[in-house]
Chains A and B, each alone.
Chain A
Amino acid sequence: MDAFEQQVRAAMELAEQDVDDTDIAIMRVADEVYGSQVRALLAEDLHDVKPELDFDPSRAPTS
Chain B
Amino acid sequence: MSHPQDLSLRAQADAVRSGELDAGELLDATLARFEERNGDLNAVVATFPEQSRRMLDEAPDGPLRGVPVGIKDEFSIPWRAPRNGSSIDAIPAGESAVFRRLRDAGAVVAGVTQMHFWGAGTTGHVSAYGPVGNPWDPTRCAGGSSGGSASAVGGRMLGAAVGADGGGSVRLPAAYCGVTGLKLTNNVVPRDGHVHAHSALGAFGPLCRDAADARLFGSALLARDLTAGDGSGLRVGVVRDPFWDDIDPSVEKACRDALDAAGWDVEEISLEGAEHSLIATVVIITVEALPEFSDEDLAAADPLSRALIKYERMMPAEALARAMRVRSQLRRAVASAFETYDAIAWPTVPAVAPPIENPTVERPSGPSPAEPANVGQAGLGNLTGIPGINVPVGFNEDGMPIGLMLQAAWNREELLLDAAEHIEQATGRRHVDAEPPIAAPAG
Contact = CB atoms under 8 A, between A and B. Distances in A.
A7 B304 CA distance: 19
For chain B, give the interface size range. 35 or more
Given A26-B303, A38-B316, A41-B319, A49 B329 contact: yes
Interface in B292-332: 303-304, 306-308, 310-311, 313-316, 318-319, 322-326, 328-329, 331-332
A59 B410 CA distance: 5
Contacts of A37: 276, 278-279, 282
B185 interface: yes
B263 interface: no
B276 A23 contact: no
Given A59-B410, A59-B411, A27 B307 contact: yes
B13 to A, nearest CB: 28
Contacts of B325: 46, 49-51
Interface residues of A, number: 34
A40 to B, nearest CB: 7
Contact of A50 (B273, B311, B328): B328
A31 B319 CA distance: 14
B186 interface: yes
Interface string A1-27: 000000110011001010100110111
A6 B384 CA distance: 37
Contact of A46 (B306, B322, B410): B322
B316 A11 contact: no
Contacts of A61: 328, 331-332, 335
Chain B's interface: helix, strand, loop or mixed, by majority? helix
Contacts of B328: 49-52, 55, 61
Interface string A24-58: 01110011011001101110101001111001111
B270 interface: no
Contacts of B314: 7-8, 11, 27
B409 A60 contact: yes
B385 interface: yes
Given A37-B279, A38-B316, A51 B331 contact: no
Interface string B366-409: 00010110000000000011000000000000000000000001
A44 to B, nearest CB: 7
8 contacts: A23-B306, A37-B279, A38-B319, A41-B326, A46-B326, A49-B325, A49-B329, A57-B185
Interface of A: 7-8, 11-12, 15, 17, 19, 22-23, 25-27, 30-31, 33-34, 37-38, 40-42, 44, 46, 49-52, 55-61
Given A8-B310, A33-B369, A60-B409, 13 more contacts: A8-B314, A12-B310, A23-B307, A30-B307, A38-B283, A42-B319, A46-B325, A50-B325, A52-B331, A57-B384, A60-B331, A60-B410, A61-B331
